């Protein structure tokens, strides 16, 4: 699976702080080790992103989840599952963030 290109700000940050970039890559590699397949990892990462309620993290997680084959219906179920934990207003916000990324994915030439 080819991950989407990271945002320019992330690339600039890693160029400015290469040791932090290396540490980030090591953290990502350590988290990827285990019995979960890539799609399940991306579903879990999306759920965690939703739980943190950080908009940029949710956008990134959706892009990566879609690249791993996560469907719109699966994203919808994750959103619905979040409602009881993060509350209705936060869930509506997350819904809008995820919809933005799904719309971009549908309109991209590779979709």
The pLDDT tens digits for 61-101 are 999 999 999 999 999 999 999 999 999 999 999 999 999 99
Is the separation of the CB atoms in 63 and 7 below 8 Å? no
Q: Is residue 2 part of a domain?
A: no
Give 86's contacts (C-beta < 8 A, 6+ positions apart). Answer: 50, 51, 53, 94
Give 98's contacts (C-beta < 8 A, 6+ positions apart). Answer: 58, 62, 75, 79
- Tell whether the model's pLDDT for residue 105 goes beyond 70: yes
User: Using one digit for the tens of pLDDT, what is the confidence trace for 36-69?
Assistant: 999 999 999 999 999 999 999 999 999 999 999 9
26 and 42 share a domain?
no
18 and 71 share a domain?
no
98 and 44 share a domain?
yes
Q: Is residue 24 part of a domain?
A: yes
Q: What are the tokens at 75?
A: 């994203």
How many whole angstroms separate alpha carbon 94 and alpha carbon 59? 9
The backbone torsions φ and ψ at residue 27, rounded to the nearest 5 degrees and listed phi first, read -65, -45
């Amino acid at each position: 699976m080819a991950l989407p290109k990271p945002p320019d700000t992330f690339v600039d940050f890693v160029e400015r702080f290469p040791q932090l970039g290396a540490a980030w890559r090591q953290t990502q590699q350590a988290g990827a080790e285990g019995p979960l397949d890539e799609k399940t990892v991306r579903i879990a990462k999306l759920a965690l992103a939703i739980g943190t309620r950080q908009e940029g993290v949710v956008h990134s997680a959706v892009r990566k989840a879609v690249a791993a084959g996560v469907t719109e219906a699966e994203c919808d179920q994750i959103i619905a599952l979040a409602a009881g934990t993060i509350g209705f207003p936060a869930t509506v916000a997350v819904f809008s963030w995820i919809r933005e990324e799904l719309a971009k994915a549908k309109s991209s030439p590779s979709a």
